[in-house]
Structure 1
Amino acid sequence: SSVEKFRCASKILIEKIIMFFIQNGSFNQGNSPIVYDGLVGGNVTIYCPVAEESQLEFLYFQKVVDGKSVFLNGYHSKPLPTQLPNTEMDQNHTMMHIYRLNLSDSGEYQCFYRYKNAASGNLYEVQLYLNVTALFSKPETSVRCREESGVPSDCNVTCHSHNGLSGKRMEWNVLGNDNRDMWRVLRNDESPSRDELVSISSTANFNCSVGEVKVSCSVDTFTSEIVSA
């Protein structure tokens, strides 16, 4: 189709531009990368710091994947086809929005640009780095108690949380009587949830014979509601 032909021609044009300036040593390199942070499922905008008073001939973003630069989105006299479906260039052609972030979006990015009618004709390069992480959901709790003569003797409290990074564990918060002889963690579980994320749960047993115990659990920045055991 005409769109596919245009996309192919645009890609070849960009590759030729890069190779020409690499061979002629026109890149400005050596600066530390600009670092951006994002959350899985969220959005981030990465910016190429160009001189606002100067007109651009072209500007485009790439991502380094397995040591190779992959074209994402950009501007060359008129908008180029979007190569990555979750990216969008802003109207000023200096920022790229990335939507619905995944862990795989983490990594090195590059911005290349050249000014119109620049005497030097230099192609400028800006190094960028995107760090995408994930936060567990607010923990949910469930309580199961065993009774003796109608009075709770001990209770198992379980906390569940979803879609976070592997290797984290639930923290228990015991209000008031924090005697470790009165409670213990029975198990901690981790299971895949989606993409590269996991769900975790933790179950603790509380001795209720000495009175009611109020507890909550925490992971990342979230703490569950307080429950009684």
Structure 2
Amino acid sequence: MSLQLRCLYTHRYSLALVVTTLLLAAASGVSDAAMNITAVLGHSVTFRCPSNHSKHVERLYIQRVTNDKEDMYINGFSNGREIPGKGYQSRTKVNTMDYSMEMRNISVGDEGSYICVFVFVDKAYKPEISEIFLKVTAEYSVPTITPDCSEHRRGVSGTGMSCHLSCSAVGGYPQSTVRWAGLNPSLTNIFYNWSLAHNDSKTWTINQTIMYNCDQPTNVSCAVGGTVSHTITICQTESFPLRVIAAIAFVVVFVLLLIFVVVMKCYFRRPQTSGTQEHTN
């Protein structure tokens, strides 16, 4: 490896140590409140480091803050030259004019706290540190709602319906819960509740099954995160129950059969008048 490349790598990987030193030396320059920004999974987001533009900036360092590890250098610039950190060369781009950084192809792992460290040309000014918190979101798929209803007796009041309703959605972040619309909470019991975070994407699959008792048509929908399922109708009472139709059909067939038997009996019992008259003549 050439001397020039060695110097370049040494400069890049020593930035974390430089910034750590700056943090210790400039604790009084830390801003009080963190700036919150939100990014959509797979999209891009821009970190805008707040600064007093009346001061000429010599260097800007943007770092990822972690609790159990040393802060990770992401990107920055020195004397107008961009210096991307290891692993972020293709994902980040610093704007030296407005002190911002674009991060592309956002993943759930990018969520967390970041700091911007400004070092000014005029050393009379202490380095300034501001904090930015990145929140990552991902929309869940449109929930799938599946009913499974059966009839049951409800004491002397008659019959009703008992329905198992399942609602599931995938691909969302952060973890969410199922919310039901159109149901009476006093008639609802949670039968099954299940959530899973996928190893690679860290997105969630949410599934819930409830049992609901009703005796009249009810419109139901479910929501997970910000997405809502289509509306279905459960506990619909048939306008003319199948049992009644079957009973009527049986009666009609029986009556027709009875009429047929009576007619046939009458036909065969009818006197043979034409044969008697021929014999007399």
- TM value normalised by structure 1: 0.74
CA-CA distance at 1:34 after TM superposition = 2.0
2:278 matched residue in structure 1: none
**Structure 2 Cα separation of the partners of residues 131 and 161 of structure 1:** 21
Could you tell me which of 129, 139, 143 is aligned with 2:143?
139
Percent of aligned pairs with the same amino acid = 20
Structure 2: give runs of 5+ residues left out of the alignment.
Answer: 153-159, 235-281
Separation in 2, partners of 1:17, 1:188: 49
* Matched residue SS, 1:160: strand
Q: Deviations over 1:140-180 (max 9, x none)?
A: 222344589xxx955433211123344x43122126xx384
SS for the counterpart of 1:68 is coil
Asked if the contact 1:7/1:80 (under 8 Å) is kept, the reply is no
Q: Distance in 1 between matches of 2:95 and 2:145?
A: 43
Whether the aligned pair in 1 keeps the contact of 2:119 and 2:126 (CA below 8 Å) is yes
Contact 2:39–2:134 under 8 Å retained in 1: no
Q: Is the 8 A contact 2:16 2:73 kept in 1?
A: no
SS in 2 for 1:11: helix
Q: Do residues 197 (structure 1) and 206 (structure 2) align?
A: no
Distance 1:228 1:174 in 2: 10
How far apart in 2 are the matches of 1:7 and 1:140?
54
Per the alignment, residue 223 of structure 2 pairs with 218
Q: Radius of gyration: which is bigger?
A: 2
The equivalences for 1:48-67 within 5 A come to 48-65=49-66, 66-67=68-69
Paired residue total? 219
Query: Which secondary structure does the structure 1 equivalent of 2:50 belong to?
Result: coil
Superposition map of 1:94-109 within 5 A:
94-109=99-114
Deviation readout 1:8-63 (Å, 9 max, x if unpaired): 1332563574476568x456434314231324504432222223344322112011
Q: Distance in 2 between matches of 1:26 and 1:171?
A: 48
Whichever residue aligns with residue 164 of structure 2, its letter is N
Are positions 1:10 and 2:11 aligned together? yes
**What's the CA shift for 1:199?**
0.9
Q: CA deviation at 1:226?
A: 1.0
Deviates more, 1:219-228 or 1:56-65: 219-228
Residue 69 of structure 1: aligned partner: 71
Residue of structure 2 in register with 1:227 after alignment: 232
Gaps of 5+ in 1: none
Asked whether the equivalents of residues 111 and 136 of structure 2 are also in contact (C-alpha less than 8 Å), the reply is yes
Q: Aligned with 1:114: secondary structure?
A: strand
Instruction: Work out the CA distance in 2 between the residues paired with 1:16 and 1:228.
Output: 63
* Matches of 1:96 and 1:184, distance apart in 2: 49
Report the Cα distance in structure 1 between the residues aligned to 2:45 and 2:99, rounded to whole angstroms: 14
Indicate the RMSD between aligned Cα atoms, in angstroms.
Answer: 3.5
Q: How does 1:16-31 map to 2 (within 5 A)?
A: 17-18=18-19, 21=22, 25=25, 28-31=28-31
1:79 to 2:85 alignment:
no
